[in-house]
């Protein structure tokens, strides 16, 4: 433990002000993909620093788009807003449309500031930065968007798609009900949604239509198919639903990089459990994978930058149950023997409560390769029992390319939304880790 703490002290770069991140930027600016994590979905400082890092990468290093752990249709409203498209609404109105629990993940004041910055940047610069959702929970929303778009651009195909998707109508906007129906009728609507995906892709290949409408509609078609597969995996366990989700997110990221061209560069925002390389945690022994590890495998570790976050104590926005009220919780002091506990004990020597570490991939003998517990807070949270299941065994220097530590963090600030409790809760059933 003493060697671990000393290595933290040796590597630490104090986070005194915004310009302190420059050495970190220098270490990732030439990557094709930069993934920026978070140890919870409800911490103000994680949102702030990943926004500042993203702003620097966009302004000075040619990054084309941001893709986040959020729903594609809802994020498309942000995408249209920052590009000056769609209805003439302000950022508060746009973010208020995030109505899937946990709404605060994207409907918060911290993101509102960044959304306005992206809109200003796109208006004032020659480049057009995009904002996309990577997730697959928008089952019915995506289905509706496919039909609505096709009615405008290909009415004949729209009729065929409506006939196929009619299989899902008895469970209208109730994904849980559809999942339960698979017990009685295991075939479900799998064949129909795959037929739609095949028809749409083949029609697009024949016509070579490259418009944004076709691009958006194709992705929504893929989401419907992936979502059906996800709920099927939850019920039957033929595949791990966690893996179905992360493989979909990785496939979406690959598609976006291809869409933006050979020289495209991507920023990803997601929880540490998705961003940090699964091979450096206990996920690998349980058969789980994630987008951080997959990106390193597909594009090469030299082209991927993975950044994690952690904090010792403070407060966090979360809830005590699914679809529960949005609450502010106190985070207890980190468990003894954890990454966060070691960082806290190094603060005195470093001389600043917040700092970051950049890891050398060639330094295999670093004490920071040692496996330690690393805190992960989900949207459902109970601070009184977090020591039982909120720590992921982690080789820090192998899991990330850099790690940002905030000694005392604060809860983020949600904005009001029209929360729809009928919608399947995002991140279900892994609210404790995400």
Task: Examine the domain organization and report whether 6 and 121 are in the same domain.
Answer: yes
> Is pLDDT at 433 greater than 50 in this prediction?
no
> Is pLDDT at 409 greater than 60 in this prediction?
yes
- Pairing status of strand 354-358 against strand 266-269: unpaired
Rounded alpha-carbon distances, angstroms, from residue 209 to 119, 224, 408:
27, 21, 51
Per-residue pLDDT, 379: 95
Task: Examine the domain organization and report whether 160 and 122 are in the same domain.
Answer: no
Per-residue pLDDT, 310: 98
Euclidean distance between the first and the last CA atom of the chain, given in angstroms as a whole number: 28
Mean pLDDT of 88-98: 89
Task: Examine the domain organization and report whether 359 and 268 are in the same domain.
Answer: yes
In-domain check, residue 234? yes
Task: Examine the domain organization and report whether 124 and 144 are in the same domain.
Answer: no
Q: Within 10 Å of residue 147's Cβ, how many Cβ atoms?
A: 17
> Is pLDDT at 4 greater than 80 in this prediction?
yes
Per-residue pLDDT, 434: 61
Rounded alpha-carbon distances, angstroms, from residue 66 to 193, 245, 351, 393:
28, 19, 34, 29
Mean residue pLDDT of the chain comes to: 92
Per-residue pLDDT, 392: 96
The structural domain count of the chain equals: 2
373-49-84 Cα angle (round to 5) = 130
Task: Examine the domain organization and report whether 263 and 323 are in the same domain.
Answer: yes
Q: HSE on the CB side for 331, CA within 13 Å?
A: 28
Per-residue pLDDT, 210: 78
In-domain check, residue 384? yes
pLDDT digits (tens, 9 = 90+) for 23-38: 999 999 999 999 999 9
Mean pLDDT of 171-194: 90
Q: Which of 205, 238, 271 is the last residue of a domain?
A: 238
Q: Within 10 Å of residue 76's Cβ, how many Cβ atoms?
A: 22
Could you tell me what percent of the chain has a pLDDT over 70?
Answer: 95
Task: Lowest mean pLDDT of 31-40, 104-113, 359-368, name the range.
Answer: 359-368
Per-residue pLDDT, 430: 38
Task: Examine the domain organization and report whether 329 and 355 are in the same domain.
Answer: yes
Could you tell me what percent of the chain has a pLDDT over 90?
Answer: 81
> Is pLDDT at 426 greater than 50 in this prediction?
no
Mean pLDDT of 232-238: 83
**What confidence tier does 384 reach under pLDDT thresholds 50, 70, 90?**
very high
Per-residue pLDDT, 172: 81
Task: Lowest mean pLDDT of 38-42, 126-130, 143-147, 318-322, name the range.
Answer: 126-130
Task: Examine the domain organization and report whether 172 and 263 are in the same domain.
Answer: no
List residues bridging with 330 in a β-sheet. Answer: 315
Per-residue pLDDT, 417: 61
Task: Examine the domain organization and report whether 217 and 265 are in the same domain.
Answer: no
Task: Lowest mean pLDDT of 34-43, 233-242, 294-303, 306-315, name the range.
Answer: 233-242
Task: Lowest mean pLDDT of 68-72, 98-102, 420-424, name the range.
Answer: 420-424
Buried b (16+ CB within 10 A) or exposed e, 344-355: bbbbeebeebbb
> Is pLDDT at 416 greater than 70 in this prediction?
yes
pLDDT digits (tens, 9 = 90+) for 256-288: 999 999 999 999 999 999 999 999 999 999 999
> Is pLDDT at 230 greater than 90 in this prediction?
yes
Task: Examine the domain organization and report whether 264 and 401 are in the same domain.
Answer: yes
- The residue range of the domain holding 229 is 139-238
Task: Examine the domain organization and report whether 353 and 399 are in the same domain.
Answer: yes
- CATH number of the CATH domain containing 394: 3.40.1660.10
Per-residue pLDDT, 365: 83
Whole-prediction pTM value? 0.94
**What confidence tier does 205 reach under pLDDT thresholds 50, 70, 90?**
confident
φ, ψ of residue 409 in degrees (nearest 5) = -105, 165
* Separation between Cα atoms, residue 416 and residue 107, nearest integer Å: 8
Task: Examine the domain organization and report whether 263 and 352 are in the same domain.
Answer: yes
* Separation between Cα atoms, residue 48 and residue 75, nearest integer Å: 19
3-state secondary structure the chain: CHHHHHHHHHHCEECCCHHHHHHHHHHHCCCCEEEECCCCCCEHHHHHHHHHHHHHHHHHHCCCEEEECCCHHHHHHHHHHHCCCCCCCCHHHHHCCCCCCCHHHCCEHHHHHHHHHHHHHHHHCCCCCEEEECCCCCHHHHHHHHHHHHHHHCHHHHHHHHHHHHHHHHHCCCHHHHHHHCCCCCCCCHHHHHHHHHHHHHHHHHHCCCCHHHHHHHHHHHHHHHHHHHHHHHHHCCCCHHHHHHHHHHHHHHHHHHHCCCCCCEEEECCHHHHCCHHHECHHHHCCCCHHHHHHHHHCHHHEEEEEEEEEEEEEEEECCCCCCCEEEEECCCCCCEHHHHHHHHHHHHCCCEEEEECCCCCCCCHHHCEEEEECCCCECCHHHHHHHCEEEEEHHHHCCEEEEEEEECECCECCCCCCCCCCCCCCCCCCCC
List residues bridging with 305 in a β-sheet. Answer: 34
């Amino acid at each position: 433990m003493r060697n671990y703490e000393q290595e933290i002290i040796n590597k630490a770069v104090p986070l005194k002000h915004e310009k302190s991140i420059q050495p970190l930027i220098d270490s990732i600016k030439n990557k094709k993909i930069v993934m920026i994590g978070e140890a919870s979905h409800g911490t103000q400082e994680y949102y702030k620093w990943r926004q500042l890092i993203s702003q620097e990468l966009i302004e000075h290093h040619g990054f084309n788009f941001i893709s986040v752990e959020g729903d594609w249709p809802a994020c498309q409203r942000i995408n249209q807003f920052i590009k000056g498209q769609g209805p003439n609404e302000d950022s508060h109105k746009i973010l208020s449309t995030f109505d899937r629990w946990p709404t605060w993940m994207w409907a918060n004041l911290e993101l509102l500031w960044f959304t306005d910055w992206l809109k200003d940047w796109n208006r004032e610069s020659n480049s057009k930065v995009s904002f996309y959702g990577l997730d697959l929970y928008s089952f019915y929303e995506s289905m509706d968007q496919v039909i609505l778009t096709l009615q405008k651009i290909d009415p004949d195909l729209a009729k065929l798609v409506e006939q196929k998707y009619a299989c899902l109508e008895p469970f209208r906007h109730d994904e849980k009900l559809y999942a339960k129906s698979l017990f009685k009728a295991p075939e479900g609507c799998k064949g129909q949604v795959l037929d739609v995906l095949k028809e749409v892709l083949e029609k697009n290949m024949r016509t070579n239509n490259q418009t944004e409408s076709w691009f958006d509609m194709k992705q929504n078609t893929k989401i419907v198919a992936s979502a059906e597969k996800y709920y099927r995996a939850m019920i039957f366990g033929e595949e791990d639903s966690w893996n179905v989700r992360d493989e979909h997110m990785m496939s979406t990221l690959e598609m976006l990089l291809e869409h933006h061209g050979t020289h495209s560069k991507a920023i990803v925002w997601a929880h540490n459990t998705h961003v940090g390389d699964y091979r450096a945690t206990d996920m690998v022994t349980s058969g789980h994978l994630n987008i951080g590890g997959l990106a390193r495998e597909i594009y090469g570790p030299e082209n991927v930058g993975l950044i994690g976050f952690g904090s010792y104590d403070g407060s966090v926005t979360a809830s005590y149950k699914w679809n529960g009220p949005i609450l502010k919780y106190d985070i207890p002091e980190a468990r003894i023997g954890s990454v966060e506990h070691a960082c806290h004990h190094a603060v005195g020597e470093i001389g600043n409560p917040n700092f970051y570490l950049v890891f050398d991939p060639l330094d295999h003998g670093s004490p920071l390769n040692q496996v330690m517990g690393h805190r992960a807070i989900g949207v459902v949270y109970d601070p009184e029992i977090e020591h039982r299941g909120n720590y992921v065994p982690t080789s820090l220097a192998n899991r990330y390319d850099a790690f940002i530590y905030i000694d005392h963090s604060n809860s983020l600030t949600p904005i009001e939304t029209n929360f729809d409790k009928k919608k399947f809760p995002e991140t279900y059933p892994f609210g404790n880790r995400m």
